[in-house]
């Protein structure tokens, strides 16, 4: 098991806040919620609750994934925001840098997923008892060796994007669970970032859209 050494700076990156909700930029390497082990107490949720005691987690990102996370302020807003996610009324856009370059410009991966219990938290494709999982993707750039993809998860299964990219034959660079050694060693972290979120504000009723830059590891060289 890898040692848990979450980044300390910035301690909490608040993208947006109001009386009903928070939008935070989670760094790679930080848990969304505390783990069972006492050494895994530090998390995005526990950090946020130091300044916003009423903050409640609505959805999660993998520890290795960076990007936008929404938290509700209070139980009623938590119920409403959770409903938006459950009913697929939240627009989610990720970017990932993957091994190799897909031959097509866009496509989708429709493969059912289930927890690989002997190797948890890993997930696996299972046509017998897996849950339906759908990811749409679009190629943004590529050089034959790696490619930058836009990923649009229609469903929200655990590790969905990571397993689907592996199943395509294009694992995400730096993935400690699903990438082959060469792809894993090609980056110092998992190059998967939750870049955009869009939803209707549950209290104010108007559309909200948030963007969080992925950073230099995702930038493509320009001539």
217 within 8 A of 191, measured Cβ to Cβ: yes
- Answer positive or negative: Cα dihedral of 41, 45, 48, 51: negative
- Answer positive or negative: Cα dihedral of 217, 210, 23, 76: negative
> Is 62 part of the annotated catalytic residue set?
yes
176 within 8 A of 64, measured Cβ to Cβ: yes
Q: Among the options 25, 62, 64, 175, which is catalytic?
A: 62
Supply 73's token pair: 């302020």
Q: How many helices (H) and strands (E) does the chain have?
A: 4, 12
Phi-psi region of 62 (alpha: psi -120 to 50; beta: other; left: phi over 0): beta
- For the annotated catalytic residues, the residue numbers are 62
């Amino acid at each position: 098991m890898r040692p848990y050494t979450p980044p300390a700076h910035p301690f909490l990156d608040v993208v947006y806040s109001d009386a009903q909700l928070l939008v935070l930029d989670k760094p790679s390497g930080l848990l969304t919620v505390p783990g069972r082990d006492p050494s895994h107490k530090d998390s995005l949720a526990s950090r946020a609750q130091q300044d916003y005691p009423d903050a409640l987690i609505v959805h999660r990102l993998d520890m290795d994934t960076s990007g936008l996370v929404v938290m509700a302020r209070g139980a009623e807003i938590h119920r409403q925001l959770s409903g938006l996610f459950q009913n697929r009324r939240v627009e989610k856009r990720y970017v990932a840098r993957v091994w190799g370059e897909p031959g097509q410009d866009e496509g989708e991966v429709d493969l059912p997923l289930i927890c690989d219990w002997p190797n948890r938290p890993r997930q696996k494709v299972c046509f017998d008892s897996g849950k339906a999982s759908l990811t749409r993707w679009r190629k943004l750039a590529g050089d034959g060796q790696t490619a930058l993809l836009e990923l649009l998860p229609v469903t929200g299964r655990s590790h969905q994007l990571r397993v689907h990219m592996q199943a395509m034959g294009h694992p995400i660079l730096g993935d400690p669970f699903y990438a082959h050694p060469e792809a894993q060693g090609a980056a110092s972290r998992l190059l998967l970032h939750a870049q955009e979120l869009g939803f209707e504000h549950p209290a104010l009723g108007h559309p909200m859209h948030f963007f969080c830059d992925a950073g230099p590891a995702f930038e493509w060289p320009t001539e």
